[in-house]
Structure 1
Amino acid sequence: MTEATKITAELLRGMPLPEPSGSVDKKARGSVLVVAGSVEVPGAALLAGTAALRAGAGKLQIATCSSVALHLGLAVPEALVLGLPETPSGGIRPESADLLCERGKRNDAVLLGPGMMDKEAVAALTTGMVNSLEGPALVIDAEALVCLDTLREPLCRREGRTIITPHAGEMASLLEIGRDAVEADPLATARRVATEFSMVVALKGGCTHIVDPDGNAWFYESGNVGLATSGSGDTLAGVVAGLVARGAEPAQATIWAVYLHGQAGNRLARSRGPMGFLARELLAEIPGIMAELAPAR
């Protein structure tokens, strides 16, 4: 099996993103449902949802805890925001899985996990959704990742329509191994999970490794330390969801998202300084970078 291919602008120009015609409506550009946030971390849903729109998705729905839904709706006026019943710990109740699957099947991509903090409730909600969701691509991030080892069969049934975006610690929890073991050979670890679970894996780090279910691999190592900041992973997951909703294949969407996220950080490092820029500032950089890579018209 070949080693990983480096992600560059030239590589991306050879795999251009789907481009809508000038006459399409917002639905034709793809719709995203973001299931995210908690009473403690409501902003993760804002970052992830806005990132999906910045990546070019046409419609956005956000499902979050009922007590923060109104505030989130005001903060993201472009989105339909659904308030869901809460657990005592301020998370989304697992019983919401059926409703979310029903809404999810009317979308092109579903993102699950950013900012969700009630571990037991997240695991139960994730289990319910992975077992029942049919149709859209599914992007899984953050706390929703750690229960996936019990869901191999339904994930494999999705036949590559799942994308996960763990860092080394989350990957270690998923596999119940030490973080040192993940960091010792991140490519092999990502390849193992991608092939065993039939999904696309983006294992984040100083060098991010992406592997598809067939074991094909890519890497991006041109980011900077400023990206290691609160909310950065939420923005990456949102960009992945937005691109796959537009019609990009799961691996293609993930490769593009990792590059766009890294290059946005590089631009901010030049204009703001190498550290201290915010995850929310990455969002406005995404459309311009995409435009520079788009085929000439």
Structure 2
Amino acid sequence: MSQMIQIDAGWVRDHRLPHPGDGGKEARGRVLVVGGGVELLGAARLAAEAALRAGAGKLQMTAPAQAMAATSLVVPEARVLGLPQNGQADDALVQAAGEADAVLIGPGMEADLEALAKDLCQRVRAPLVLDAGGLVAADCPGSETRVLTPHAGEMARLLEKDRRHIEADPIGAAIQASARCSSVVVLKGARTVIAAPDGRLARYAGGGPGLGVSGSGDVLAGVIAGLLARGADPFEAAAWGVYLHGEAGRRLAERVGVLGFLAREIAPEIPRLLDV
């Protein structure tokens, strides 16, 4: 097993993110967020806004046809695309994926959209983040650069094991999934583990219990996608994303309370944390 890297303030100081210099929004990359079923549209919004908070320059996202206008008003920074319902990515979505510097599939993606996740995953060549409902496409061919962000229950389904086995050996599970899917794997938990196919292995133990709240994982996935769009290496985008998400939780715990802050409050903490 490779030496375990501890993700902390010292590590992020030694591993700087790509900086666009004086470049505008094009230099900071474009993110496409695919998700947001009718009942879970807020998840896509959380992820999309987090991508921008992580420094991405341009944003596109999907929404059900009946919610496109409202989504454009709620997330005015985004170009909103209609969410196909027939299991196939339409021309507009395929074009958007082709123009993106990072594609996130999964936040708020309900079971009836699983076929769409698989279809789009096979067409994406940009760096790809699979979260929540998008994890159904983890084994699909497509982009060679992938980050998977499962929690223990999702990892159990991915590896076809009991959740207790995942919780008993999260490091082993992350390594196995990384090798099987040829992806960087972020196994979320109180001590998040990050494993890469090249053998790199990291752990982050901060953040606190307040991050265990509905929508928190959507924010993390969006942050990672935003960092990928900026040009970060997939392992470092994952590690930085976990660190930023965790430290945002720590700051909110100090200011708001250990429990009770909302997922929508996490992303606004990110920009100041980037200035290390």
Q: Structure 2 length normalisation: TM-score?
A: 0.96
For residues 219-267 of structure 1, the C-alpha deviation after alignment (integer angstroms, 9 at most, x for no partner) is 0011100000010000000000000100101111000000000000000
Q: 1:258 aligns with which of 242, 267, 271?
A: 242
Show structure 1 runs of 4+ deviating over 3 A: none
Q: 2:146 aligns with which of 147, 153, 162?
A: 162
Cα deviation for residue 70 of structure 1 reads 1.3
Alignment of 1:52-201 (within 5 A): 52-86=51-85, 93-96=86-89, 99-117=92-110, 119=111, 121-134=112-125, 136-149=126-139, 151=140, 154=141, 158-159=143-144, 161-201=145-185
Equivalent residues of 1:146, 1:170 under 8 A apart:
no
Tell me which residue corresponds to 1:42. Answer: 41
Cα deviation for residue 25 of structure 1 reads 1.8
Cα deviation for residue 178 of structure 1 reads 0.7
Q: Secondary structure at the match of 1:111?
A: strand
In the alignment, structure 1 residue 13 sits paired with structure 2 residue 13: yes
Which amino acid in 2 is paired with 1:20? Answer: P
Equivalent residues of 2:89, 2:120 under 8 A apart:
no
Aligned equivalents of 1:99, 1:11: Cα separation in 2:
40
Aligned equivalents of 2:90, 2:160: Cα separation in 1:
26
Cα deviation for residue 2 of structure 1 reads 2.1
For residues 156-206 of structure 1, the C-alpha deviation after alignment (integer angstroms, 9 at most, x for no partner) is xx43x0101000000111121110111110111111111221110000000
Specify whether residues 98 and 172 from structure 1 end up closer, same or farther in structure 2 by C-alpha distance, changes over 3 A only: farther
Identity %: 49
Equivalent residues of 1:168, 1:182 under 8 A apart:
yes
What runs of 5+ residues in structure 2 fail to find an aligned partner? none
Which amino acid in 2 is paired with 1:284? Answer: P
RMSD: 1.3
Aligned equivalents of 2:174, 2:256: Cα separation in 1:
33
Cα deviation for residue 210 of structure 1 reads 0.4
Tell me which residue corresponds to 1:90. Answer: none
Tell me which residue corresponds to 1:89. Answer: none
Equivalent residues of 1:146, 1:171 under 8 A apart:
no
Q: Secondary structure at the match of 2:217?
A: helix
Q: Secondary structure at the match of 1:62?
A: strand
Equivalent residues of 1:97, 1:128 under 8 A apart:
no
Which amino acid in 2 is paired with 1:78? Answer: E
Aligned equivalents of 2:103, 2:192: Cα separation in 1:
22
Q: Secondary structure at the match of 2:88?
A: helix
Q: Secondary structure at the match of 2:89?
A: helix
Equivalent residues of 1:194, 1:215 under 8 A apart:
no
Cα deviation for residue 97 of structure 1 reads 5.5
Equivalent residues of 2:220, 2:242 under 8 A apart:
yes
For residues 16-47 of structure 1, the C-alpha deviation after alignment (integer angstroms, 9 at most, x for no partner) is 0011112x121111000000101101101110
Aligned residues: 276
Q: Secondary structure at the match of 2:60?
A: strand
